[in-house]
Structure 1
Amino acid sequence: MGLYSILQRSALLILVLGTRGTLCTRDTYVDYLEMSFFFDWNPPAQLYPVPVTQQCETINIKWSRGPAQGPNPVPPYYLQVYASIYTVPIVIPAGDRLSYDWAVPFPPGTLYQICMFDKNGNTGGCQDVYTVTPSLSSQDPTCANVTLPPQLEVEGIVNNGPISQYGWIEQCTDISVVPKGGSPPYTFTIAPSLHPPYNITGDGAMNWTVTLSWASSFFISVADSAGNMWANGLLHSGGPGTTECLIGSSSGTGAHVEPAVAIGAGVGGSAAGLLVGLLSMFCVMRRKGRKERDRQAFLDFSSGADNSSLLNWHNRSQHRPESTTPIPYPDRSVGTGGAGHHSLGSSPYHVEPFVIPTEDGQRNVPSSPHSNAEAPLPIPQSLSTFSSTVGQPAVKPHPGAVYVLHHDNNAPPVTIYHEEGQEIVELPPRYPANSPPPELVSRNVSDNRRESEGNRTDGSDLPPMLQQQRRPNHIRKPAHHPHQERQGRR
């Protein structure tokens, strides 16, 4: 990948991240308040809470620290009651004690929900939504009237228009509240049932993304610094919108993100990615250059003559004619750590083809049409290693060498290792009349080979076994055994 492609992709990434950061600022996720205490008004003998109260029924509200992990509560305490028949919440002082008796003043059919706060705004959460039913003890119950706070004018907007007091708001859509008066700063409170509330503070319009599960009930309210208030509900979260905001960001995974911060983060990440890409390219190119230098150093021989010989041998061996060429005796020092090596042209010895002698002991040497063949080509010393078919260790061949591997008792097969283009002639064994048995000859030959390998260092001397004069053996034809005559001819 070129530098231009990297820069082009980085610019595209910056544009995408900047656009994404701007879009993400439309959604506002907040963290719910930590619980500082717990409260309820369930009767001691009641196993499960029943969210129903009678009109003017007095409930005994109790609270305690319990397992809450929020800030320590500080009295005095306050009840904030949301009712479906009012557009403002009701704030009731609960005093400094840990219990409070309150008579429910709402008419039958009213839905209400109670939340609690301490002096510093630490919360005890919100209880479930209760329904007011007619009184069973009196047909005309009477209880103390409630005092409503001053009304704050607020405009509520959702994705499909003005907010309804009893509406269902699609999940992952925004609720926007715009105060029309009052004294900033404003506090936007979202109070879900059986859940701690959310608080958002601002000086003007405020947004909240509905990050509640399906059919969750909740109230919303706005209060200014002068005590003016506005409320709306009972609301529910519903569909058929998307639920992507609930994955990993339910109930607030962060506050408002400014567009400048999002774009700056995108640009910084792109610059870091570009730097990492350039460093990676530098490392890769440096490694490739090092490998190329190592390869050139491996091909660089000690002298220029060796290089030219290697190239000449490689080029000429592809068109080498099949002819009888001088073959040097292989250097036994190869593979044993010897430093000396010889080319084909430096050996004064030639291996001539064997010709069966005639009856008078003379040899008929045929004239070779290739007697004036070109000089042997230099062969590099580093040839491949041959291994025998009977499990013998690998032997490193000398240039131009031919190896014939015999087995015990002349058992077949006879394995021949040679280079391509060389002519191999296999001859039958011949023994003089006064020669020892083949086993003894093999043993003497092995001893002679070991002695020659120990004494010879330059590879120019032939072993004694090849210098022995061959004497023809006259074949006697027995008169009375034709079968043995055929065996003698073989």
Structure 2
Amino acid sequence: MGPFLRLLGLLQTSVAALLCARVFFPGANAEVVEYLEQGFLFDWTADQSPPVPTAAQCDTLHITWGRRSATGPNPVAPYFLQIFTSTFIVPFIIPAGDETSLSYDWVVPFIPGTQFQMCMVASNGVTGGCQNIWTVYQRPNTTLDNPPTCFNLTYPHAPLGVDASLADGTWSQYGWVDQCSDIQLKPTNGTPPFTYTIAPALHPPFNITSKTMDPVNWTVSLMYGMPFWVSVVDSTGLAWTNGPLHPTGAGSTKCLDLDSVLDPQSTSDSRSLSPGATAGIAIGTAIAGALIGILASLLFSRWQHRHYKAGRPGRLDLFHKYSDSGDTPTLTMNQPLSAATTLASPGRSPDAGTGGSRSDHVNEHGQVVRSPLSPISPTHHQHSSSTGSLTSPGPSSSSATNVRPPMHTQPGNSQVYVVHHDAGRPPPVTVFTSNGTEVVELPPQYESAARSSDGPSNQAERGMGSRPLPPSPDGQRRAPRDLPQKARRVALNADASPPEP
């Protein structure tokens, strides 16, 4: 669960950062706006087709306007000329007339080489559109040292402070901007509300109104090479402008379809996802992928743990005391040792008529402590073919003997455990395997008659004399050897005399 909790904390931090960015930078989202509807038309070259967009310095332009074929809202007088130039960073606002006059004569006051673009607007904000960019040339019979004389033009107040930038943080007054990229405009002074105007040539302008001084982003939804000016005006008349700017063809063209961008339900492309929905799907997919990866890792770890446990070899319970002939040893996985575990080991005495047996107990440190000899008759004899079996040869004493429990075997080893039962109790031999190895048990071979020379006492001394012995490699059956004589075992708390020699 540790990696899952760390991933959940990281996701929560990311979501919190996005929300903070949304709150503290509300202008981070670019805006695509619809251009204004034209309520009237104007021009000053009605008799020229097509007009040449040039004018001599101090030329007089006879401007006329009217409703004509416009379909927008009705304009309300008075009217104003809005002139953008390439030599000034402020626009010129010139009163053009009232409701009694639909014409105005304007003298071009700019020096040769100046580019200007004229737009017109009514007092109620209805636009008459913008004309093409015109270029001022030198008036005939004049020079730069001897320019023509025009009436004085009243220049506006100090420009409004505006920070403009592109997506990469750069900006140029005459720069080229990738189409469908963003332009960010942020006022540094002035009084809200602010009016942001984008004035393309031969096109109605775009207007954005903001009641705060937060930055405003506008998406360049203009075709490649189409010149335009950007301007900002506050509520007191302070203004700022830059241009002419031009879109490049390096950007996307998706924003040029204003119908699909502004009203997705009205076009066949309405099934396309918005940028917000796309970002949400991407974040959701990332979260789902992370959760699936963590779940798969947990499942694999659990499967690997179970597979490792299932592949470990079992351990034969050789430390259990079988008091009944029906008891059968079992194979257990990692059987723990405790102080209550009892070990039964057969004992022999020199006396043929009596047998000795003792019980061994395992203490809490894994040591086998042997108790004194007790005169009980042996019930059965246990024997294991594995290296982990326990025997008690030799004379016993009252001291504790350390016996290690059976060691864990490696998963690849195959072990077979064989338990022999005395006194003819069925079955004579019980075979156990740790990994399912098939074991074929062959019946024992008994001699036709016991040796007549072996009496009961001799058989008792030999211990295993009544049981057949396997043949030697040369085919001759081997005879058992006499067991060594052992000293009589006496309990520590018993008053007994020392053993006789």
* TM-score scaled by length of structure 1: 0.46
Name the structure with the higher helix share. 1
* TM-score scaled by length of structure 2: 0.45
